[in-house]
Amino acid sequence: MRFSNTVSAIDLLLSRAWLARRSRIMAKRTETRLTQRGDDLDRPVVLRKVMEVLSVKGFAKASMSDLTNAAGLDYRRLRRAFGTRDEILRAAIQFCADSEASLAQEPLRVSPSGKEALLSMLEENVRLRRHWPRYCDCLFTFSAFIVPPEEDDLQDFLAQRRRSLSKQIRSRLALSVSEGELPDDTDCEALANLCLAVLGGLHLRVMDGAPMVLLFRSIEIFVDALGFAEGRRASSTRLRTPTKSRDGKR
């Protein structure tokens, strides 16, 4: 099977670089509170272990004993760093959602074209699912198992993260329109909404055990269908002009 350039060895190396960079940034953003207390606790590592407990036990049944055992910390140290059981679980869910959002946002910022940005964003989502706790898709989950409906603050937090990501996708698509990569009449709002829906759907397919090769091919077909021009500076008139097939018919 022929792979696209986005699934090449270079792309995989860039993806790993993005993951490493985001991990460093997230660690720096979350270490201040612990450093001020003189604690050398690795907050991202602990929160990931908490997410693994959540993935198995759920929000309602994850006990403080489960959390201390998973984190390898005593009760006092864990409580001093994060607070009560519920506060620890909320911090883990927020960390999970922030990590997912950051990984999706990075390609939107650094990719040289809109098409490459969407391809990378969707493919990074698939790669993350292969290494993330099975049921912990915090950014797009609507499962009461992980985020109870009564947790209004968490629900609002996740909704705000989704709105922010949708806005960034829309902005990147608008840039593609201005550069002639997409037609002038592109509905960026609707297209961003569709991309966000695809991001959430990919998680379900990974959980179903769909092969990565199949998911990458599906992503490629989806992005190709959005109408991106091959050249970033192609005119919108050219984009709307039907192309001739090999037999000369339109």
pLDDT digits (tens, 9 = 90+) for 66-110: 999 999 989 999 999 999 999 999 999 999 888 888 888 999 999
Q: Is 74 helix (H, G, I), strand (E, B) or coil?
A: coil
Count how many domains the chain has: 1
Is residue 242 assigned to a domain? Answer: no
User: In which element (H, E) is residue 88 found?
Assistant: helix 85-110
Identify the band that residue 148 occupies on the pLDDT scale cut at 50, 70 and 90.
Answer: confident
CA 174 – CA 107 distance, rounded (Å):
15
Is residue 234 assigned to a domain? Answer: no
Average pLDDT over the chain, rounded to an integer: 79
CA 195 – CA 117 distance, rounded (Å):
11
Identify the band that residue 232 occupies on the pLDDT scale cut at 50, 70 and 90.
Answer: very low
Range of the domain at 126: 5-227
pLDDT at residue 206 tops 50: yes
pLDDT at residue 237 tops 60: no
Q: Is 243 helix (H, G, I), strand (E, B) or coil?
A: coil
DSSP-derived secondary structure for 12-63: HHHHHHHHHHHHHHHHHHHSHHHHHTT----HHHHHHHHHHHHHHHHHHH--
The CATH number assigned to the domain holding 79 equals 1.10.357.10
Token duo for residue 204: 């379900």
pLDDT digits (tens, 9 = 90+) for 10-56: 554 555 555 555 555 554 544 433 333 435 688 999 998 999 899 88
Query: What angle do helix axes 85-110 and 64-71 make, rounded to 10 degrees?
Result: 50
Is residue 205 assigned to a domain? Answer: yes
Is residue 35 assigned to a domain? Answer: yes
Is residue 245 assigned to a domain? Answer: no
| Minimum mean pLDDT range among 6-10, 129-133, 178-182 | 6-10
